A and B are shown apart, each in its own frame.
Chain A
Amino acid sequence: MIRSLPSSKRYRTGFNIFIALYFIFLFAPLIVTMVLAFNDSMYPSLPWQGFTLDWFFGKGPQKYGIFHDQTNLRSLYTSFRVAIAVMIVSTFLGTCAAFLFEQEQFRFKGALYFLMIAPLVIPGVILGISILMFSNTVGLFIEDHMNIYVKFLGPGFPLVVLGQSSFISTIVALVVSARLKKFDRTLEEAAYNLGANKAEVLWFITLKYLRPSIIGGAAMAFLMSFENFNTTIFLVGSQATLPINMYMQVRDGSTPVINAISFLLILITSAIAVVNLYKGNESYL
């Protein structure tokens, strides 16, 4: 049964095989995707035609590697900008929310807290369409009544950032709250007694204590934004983010350049994930 109890050999072998199969199931698609990035073929499939780096560095005319693929590079840059913006917005909002719900007392706190965790159980598609519709209505209203066309209320960069932040902020808030709960408030009182004002206490004591969780939350916000599809698809204008651009290529069939992008993304995200875990941040979900 458990490791301290005796169990039959058959039971142990069976369990080990099950786990081995599970991990093969988990990693097979990722490994295949990564390996085929180096296949010297026009299609992401076997037979193996030999090793090549063309899908990374190829300059054409037949094979355009990722570093010379203008469309993919542009969407990569868009995704990067969006992710940075979302990271800043949602880290700020999430940290404010953590302080608000952990340290302040006010009426309707329970109701407001419920609203804050609601985005976790609202499908991303619905967040996307409702924010699209609301901003469109507001835009039309302003146009009708004040004769001003507000560009940022239409689909595009600002709307994507707001849409993604609407639920990523909640995740950051939960990560920061988890650490703030363990904070010893007598440290604040000690600082007050030594003559610090509220802003100084916040900056030098509390935020300093929260720093690992804020960095962890920000890293999660960046990654979640970078890979988001469901919410983004409704809010994106003419500038496609990387997942949306990749989706169209995957749907319509594409060259192994997609594998090359995936290879890089898998390596980078795994590295960030592992570093984040080793930093001793327990709240990865």
Chain B
Amino acid sequence: MMKNKKSMPWGFLFFFLPVVLWLFLLIVLPHLELLRLSFTKANTGKLTLDNYLAFFREPIYWLTFVRTAAYSITVTFLVMVISLPVSFYISKIVKGRLSGMLMILILVPFWVSELIRVYGWMILLRESGLLNHLLVSVGLFKQPVEMLYNDITMIMGLVYTSMLFMVVPVIGVMDDLDNSIIEAAFDLGASKRAIWRTIIIPHCTPGLVNGGIIVFMLVLGSYLTPNLMGGKNSLWFTEQIYNQIILYFNWNQGAAFGFLLLVLSSLIIWVLLKLTRQNLKEVVK
């Protein structure tokens, strides 16, 4: 096992054992168990494909699945589009001190729990909420309108809660972009659009992929935001998992759903990495 002759084996084991125990007991074996349960029948323990067949037979299940995937991709894309100008502003337009201050301002909401952020939107947007109160008292609205519990609000909420995970890595790569390249392009007569398309965006791709993976994974696995902001009609796949496990106590069905979600998230992350020719190890650094 040891190649490094200088360090003693027990020193190596001191680091090695806890890490291996952690990864096997908390990551590998639980996921194998998830896989096993998804292929077995409740109580009897017999092998079956029923849990997966149920997913394809019931439109509500696979429609929710497709919907969740499509919305997660949309949110990831929106977050990328908004983060680029914001990062550009902080990294390239404002000067040192202000830039650092804005950076801290951007990071603060990231530390506040998702629940509090969603709650803030709820008291702003609901029928008895602040925005309605203001709009009615100004006279723009005749009566309060329910702005919560629809897909657009839910998407906005998901963009909001995951935004910061994109801005931080994108600012990181943007800071490394040498200003003189942009200046050179400008001097040679490139338009703004050309500068963005051929210099800034290609340079920021690693940051965008890095943020994209985290945002996508967070949105796909999010429960609070769709549940609280999307209301009853906005089905999210994590809610199906929650229902199967907590409400119906059908763990085998829940395991199958969980495994499908895992496959979906791994697949899309893999495609994203392949398309941009990155690998996961580089991206998480």
Could you tell me which A residues sit within 8 Å of B by CB distance?
1-5, 15, 18-19, 22-23, 25-30, 32-33, 36, 43-47, 92-93, 96-97, 99-100, 103-107, 112-127, 129-135, 137, 162-163, 165-166, 169, 174, 178, 198, 223, 226-227, 229-230, 233-234, 243, 246-247, 250-251, 258-259, 262, 265-266, 269-270, 272-274, 277, 284-285
Contact = CB atoms under 8 A, between A and B. Distances in A.
A114 B118 CA distance: 33
B37 A133 contact: yes
28 contacts: A1-B195, A3-B93, A5-B186, A19-B86, A25-B160, A29-B119, A33-B119, A33-B123, A97-B15, A104-B12, A105-B4, A112-B23, A115-B23, A120-B217, A123-B220, A125-B242, A126-B31, A127-B30, A133-B33, A133-B255, A163-B26, A233-B242, A246-B115, A265-B113, A269-B111, A269-B112, A270-B108, A270-B112
Q: Across chains A and B, which 10 residue pairs bring their CB atoms closest together, nearest first? A: A123-B221, A29-B120, A227-B113, A130-B30, A134-B30, A166-B26, A130-B34, A100-B15, A134-B33, A46-B133
A134 B24 CA distance: 11
Given A233-B242, A250-B122, A32 B258 contact: no
A93 B217 contact: no
B182 A2 contact: yes
Interface of B: 1-4, 7-8, 11-12, 14-16, 18-20, 22-23, 26-31, 33-34, 37, 82, 85-86, 89, 92-95, 102, 104-124, 126, 128-130, 133-134, 160, 163, 165, 168-169, 179, 182-183, 186, 192, 195, 213-214, 217-218, 220-224, 227-228, 238, 241-242, 245-246, 251, 254-255, 258, 261-262, 265-266, 269, 280-281, 284-285
Contact of B26 (A2, A107, A162): A162
Contacts of A116: 19, 23
A100 B19 contact: yes
B93 A2 contact: yes
Contacts of A125: 221, 223, 238, 241-242, 258, 261
Contacts of A93: 18-19, 22
Contact of A96 (B8, B15, B120): B15
Given A15-B93, A233-B223, A250-B115, A104 B15 contact: yes
Contacts of B2: 105-106
Given A134-B29, A134-B33, 17 more contacts: A1-B182, A19-B89, A29-B120, A30-B116, A46-B133, A100-B16, A121-B217, A123-B217, A129-B34, A130-B31, A223-B111, A234-B246, A250-B228, A251-B227, A269-B111, A269-B112, A284-B107
Contact of B120 (A32, A130, A270): A32
Q: Is the interface of B mostly helix, strand, loop or mixed?
A: helix
B7 to A, nearest CB: 7
B183 A106 contact: no
Contacts of B4: 104-105
Contacts of A130: 30-31, 33-34, 258
Nearest to B257: A129
Contacts of A169: 22
A1 B121 contact: no
B114 A118 contact: no
B130 A45 contact: yes
Contacts of B7: 103-104, 198
B139 to A, nearest CB: 16
Contact of A285 (B22, B28, B165, B254): B165
A44 B122 CA distance: 10
A258 B130 CA distance: 16
A25 B2 CA distance: 54
B30 A131 contact: yes
A158 to B, nearest CB: 12
Given A112-B23, A115-B27, A120 B214 contact: yes
